[in-house]
A and B are shown apart, each in its own frame.
Chain A
Amino acid sequence: MTDIKPIRNADDHKAVLDEIEVLFGAQPGTPEADRLEVLTILAAAWEARHFPLDDADPVDALTFAMKAQGRSQSDLAGALNSRSRASEILNRRRALTADMIDAISSAWAIPAAALGGRPRTPASNVRRWALNGMAAIAFTVTASLAAGGGALWYIGKDLPDPAQVAALADRPDFVPLAEIPPHVVKAFLAAEDKDFYGHGGTSALGVVRATAISLGALISGKPGAGGTGIAEQVAKNLLLTNEPRSLARRLKAAILANRMEQSLSKDRILEVYLNEVYLGSGSYGVAQASMRYFAKPLADVSVAEAAVMAGLPKAPNAYRPNLPDAYDQAKAKARRDWVLDRMANDGLITVSAAHMAQAESLLRE
């Protein structure tokens, strides 16, 4: 094999492609086949570097295959058993889950690997304006908070030691995290703080961010939204028990949550949270709640029962599963089903597992 040279520019690349076209389909074992193999490797390496296709969008692939096969959005709704899901996927408002990819790939013979990427986010003008607006608001809030750093210091200077919360482990019915079933942990993460293990909080910027989130949550009327939700709840429930609801309390909780994440591991904070969170009917923690509502030890609760418990912190008395009124039971079931949907959307359980759990009654007969 002679005069094969590296591809250094577009002209070299074109010359190699021209030769590949001539050699295409060469008989195996011939010099032409050997040359084709080497040229193919050179060209593929050049193109992978200069024209990567690894940002393939699954919605582009799905849409193209559906049109090529003469299928419509209604067909996709049929394959996924949901019109809204089909619409959300095709409009890039929802990512395909493993279950969905499996269902579509099996039913329509679309290569599963083509559906596994991350859909790109549509960047319409409205979206850009909204993002710019949000960035401006975030900048203003952050700048204001930075200017008020002294005030934050003043609020935070006499707060209790966040490591105190670990003393809760002395309680006789304290359940170590390792003994809490994984689906119970997942249910609470999905419902209360899905980014719990992702967000940190070890810097001054972290305090500002957490404070900004708290401020935003207070303004929006959605306590616990985003940020350090679980750590903040631990701080409020265990360290700020005598503080009336106020912006100062939220700021203190944000500061304490941040300090807690510096002194305790994420697992430890979550462990404390799952043992102290109030879940209605006089029960504190998941072990007490599982006995109270399901008359069984925590190790035996199902996914559906875990979702019932995880739905309770937001409004323990409103979402209790043991209320006799049919309207209250419907509310509790809706809350449980919402948690199960969140778990499925976050990939913590499969969609089919969520559907099976949603089919269960709230309390076993």
Chain B
Amino acid sequence: MLLLMDILGRHLLPDFWQRHPDSESGLRGAAAIIAAAAWQSDGDIARHLGTAAAYAGEGWVTITDPDGHFRLVLRIDYPRQLVQILSVAEA
């Protein structure tokens, strides 16, 4: 059975888009992609998000909004299918 990712730290998303309304659509879109994914490696993220994602090793991933409204910093535990949003900041 395919397990989809659990996302923790999702409260950071509305916290950010309430202060930066232009970011809401992109943040919702990014969250929808993450929640629907079953990533097993950095390569899987690259297939879905192309150059918007950057990798720092050990599951640390940065996703930069192509429209420049935000930057998401995530940590991913691939075996546990767990994503923790660590921060949302202006790009």
Contact = CB atoms under 8 A, between A and B. Distances in A.
B58 A44 contact: no
A235 interface: no
A139 interface: no
A70 B50 contact: yes
Contacts, number: 114
Given A24-B77, A25-B58, A53 B49 contact: no
Contacts of A114: 32-33, 35-37
A61 B49 CA distance: 11
Interface string B57-75: 0110001011100000001
Interface in A8-25: 10, 13, 17, 20-21, 24-25
A334 interface: no
A117 B28 CA distance: 12
Contacts of B65: 64
Where chain A touches its partner, the secondary structure class is helix
Nearest to B26: A64
A63 B79 CA distance: 29
A40 B82 contact: yes
Contacts of B4: 113
B84 A60 contact: no
Given A21-B75, A47-B10, A64-B26, A53 B47 contact: no
B10 A51 contact: yes
A68 B36 contact: no
Interface size bracket, A side:
35 or more
Q: Which of B13, B28, B49 has the most CB of A within 10 A?
A: B28
A56 B8 contact: no
B51 interface: yes
Interface string A26-47: 0010000000110010011001
B66 A68 contact: yes
Contacts of B67: 67
A24 B79 CA distance: 11
Contacts of A56: 28, 31-32, 35-36
Contacts of A67: 52, 66-67
Contacts of B40: none
A40 B51 contact: no
B22 to A, nearest CB: 13
Given A63-B25, A63-B29, A113-B36, 11 more contacts: A25-B77, A37-B80, A40-B82, A56-B28, A58-B32, A60-B25, A64-B66, A65-B49, A68-B66, A111-B33, A114-B35
Interface of A: 10, 13, 17, 20-21, 24-25, 28, 36-37, 40, 43-44, 47, 50-51, 53, 56-58, 60-65, 67-70, 109-114, 117
